[in-house]
Every structure is written in structure tokens, then in C-alpha cells.
Amino acid sequence: MFLSFIVCVFSWKGKVMINIIDAIINLLNNPIIKLNQEYVNDRNRANNMGEALEEYVKDLFAGTIDLKDPSARLERFEKEFSYSGNQNNPPDFMIKNGDAVEVKKIESPNSSLALNSSYPKHKLYSSSPMITKACRECENWDVKDIIYAVGIVGSDKKSLSSLAFVYGEDYAASQEVYEKIRNTIKNGVTTIPDVEFEETKELGRVNRVDPLGITYLRIRGMWGIENPFKVFDYVFTRDFDCDFNFMAIINEKKWNSLNRTEELRKLIRETAGANLLKTVIKNPDNPVKLRNAYVITYKK
């Protein structure tokens, strides 16, 4: 019975599911940084750097970087992913019975991430009003770990200067922290005299603001968060003399649940510019509490 449980958790229809380790191995084996050339011009997959970055991250996870046949690539995506979303609703894609991935592009080394109406995700819940019905129903799930894949565009606007993979649970506070703020704002609006408040997927809407009752006010959150390289500068410092910097942070509990970690260790030892460090990181809910984590870095 225990063996059956292990097989159920770590496989899908008899196949070991892909994970962040696969993506890192694929990146170290083929570190493409000229995304404009590789993904916009040559393959005609994307219209801008943001879309190119998303396609690149999908290829890292699915192992399709060198796959030139568009049909074969789509078939691999269907095999590995249960959902691929849109720009307005998180996440950007989900691994079958695995993690969710949200891809974000920023254009300067110290810029923050604009999350708009969706606050940072510690975990991704199927009950979230911010996800689509297609995402909710793509597989049988309640909660998923979410990876933030954050890419920083180079000064030439054609290349990727930095890329970070961090898990939401190591990066963002728990859901109730953000919900408390969100609900306090919503409840505050309802206490204003003579206000007709309407629930929406945003913070809300105030109807009939004017005497004719024809004006309304949308109340929308514009969430943002510091980029991972700034948040985790106490464990990794970028080398701006290099063309490319990569960082992945995986807490020890998650690391121990992943396959191919020994293969990654071996690859890091054999790859110039790559490094693996076991360290401690701050708990986003209580920074004085530390948790063990692995930091994988690569400079080119």
C-alpha cells in the first residue's frame, strides 16, 4: 500500500512527472539567452519578449528546447502540462499532478514585479476566484505549489540577462496575510454612508455614485512585489560582468520530494559557472524563523 502511494504521488500514468529539477538541468545543458532571435524570429512562436520568455520557460520544463517541429512540441506540452493559461489569470501553465508556474518579465535589474489585481501566491488554490474555470477543472486538484519564473531583459531588449525560479511558499506570505488587507479595504468601503457596494472579482464596485445613478467606481488592487534577486540578495549576488545570471531556490522539504537531484548535483560539478549551495532562507510569514534550502546558481 505504501509503495502504491509513492507511485501515485510521483508519477502520472506510470511516468515520473517533470519538475523544477528537469528545467534546471535543461537550462544548464542549453542556456539560451538570445530569446528574441531564438524564439521570436527563428521559430515564430511569440510576438514580444514577454511571450518569448514564457515559451522558453515552458520549453525548459517540457524538455523541448531543441524540438523544431511545432506539432511535436505541442504534443509534448499536452503530455506534460494540464493547463496553459492567459496573461490575465494565473498561472501561466501547470504540470500534470505537479507544480504551477507563473512567468514574469521585468526590464531592469532592480524592478519590482507588477501583479496587478492578483496578490502574490504562497500556494495556488483551486478555490481562488482569480483563476479560470478551465484551470480549475483541468485536473483533479485542490492546492498546488507555485513557481515564480522571473526573467530580466538585457539592455539590448533581445536577450535574457537574468532568470530566477523561486517557490511561492519561500517568496510570498500566506494567503490570509493578503486577504486581511483586501477584506479590510472592501469592508471599509461598505461603511461609507449611502454607498451601493457590489462584489466583484476585483476589490469591488460602487454603483450609482451620482444623482442620476449612472456612474460607478471600480475598486481594483494593483499588487506588486520586489523581484527575487533583491529579496534573496543575502544568499546570491548577481555578477553584472556576466551576460547571464540564474538562481533557483528550493526549500529542503520540496527538494527531498523531487527526482533527478543527484543527476543535477553531478551536472553542476561538471558545468563551469554553476554552483549548488545548501543554506537557510527566511520564512515569509516570520522572517526570524529560518528554513533550510538549496540555492542553484549559474553565471555565463
CA distance 16 to 10: 6
- Beta carbons of 198 and 207 less than 8 angstroms apart: yes
Task: Please report the pLDDT score of residue 41 as a whole number.
Answer: 55
Describe the crossing of helices 20-29 and 49-62 by its angle, rounded to 10 degrees: 110
152 occurs within a structural domain: yes
Cell of 12: 502520472
Task: Please report the pLDDT score of residue 3 as a whole number.
Answer: 40
Stretches in the chain below the pLDDT threshold 70: 1-15, 36-47
Task: Please report the pLDDT score of residue 46 as a whole number.
Answer: 56
Question: Kindly report the CA angle at 168 between 166 and 170, in degrees rounded to 5?
Answer: 70
200 occurs within a structural domain: no
**What is the number of structural domains in the chain?**
1
Q: What phi, psi does 63 have (nearest 5°)?
A: 75, 35
Task: Please report the pLDDT score of residue 15 as a whole number.
Answer: 62
* H-state helical runs in the chain: 2-10, 20-29, 35, 49-62, 70-80, 133-137, 168-171, 175-190, 228-231, 252-255, 261-270
Q: What is the DSSP letter of 14?
A: T
Task: Please report the pLDDT score of residue 36 as a whole number.
Answer: 64
205 occurs within a structural domain: no
CA distance 208 to 216: 6
Task: Please report the pLDDT score of residue 199 as a whole number.
Answer: 84
Pairing of strands 89-95, 204-207: unpaired
Sole residue written with cell 483563476:
131
Q: Letter for the amino acid at 286?
A: N
Which domain range does residue 17 map to?
Answer: 2-174+223-299
Three-state DSSP state, 274: strand
Task: Please report the pLDDT score of residue 16 as a whole number.
Answer: 75
Question: Kindly report the CA angle at 139 between 134 and 141, in degrees rounded to 5?
Answer: 105
State pTM to two decimals. Answer: 0.90
180 occurs within a structural domain: no
216 occurs within a structural domain: no
Pairing of strands 81-86, 15-16: unpaired
Partner residues linked to 152 by β-bridges: 106, 162
195 occurs within a structural domain: no
Task: Please report the pLDDT score of residue 273 as a whole number.
Answer: 97
181 occurs within a structural domain: no
**What are the pLDDT digits (tens) for 156-208?**
888 899 999 999 999 999 999 999 998 898 888 888 888 898 888 788 899 99
Task: Please report the pLDDT score of residue 37 as a whole number.
Answer: 57
236 occurs within a structural domain: yes
CB atoms within 10 A of CB 274: 20
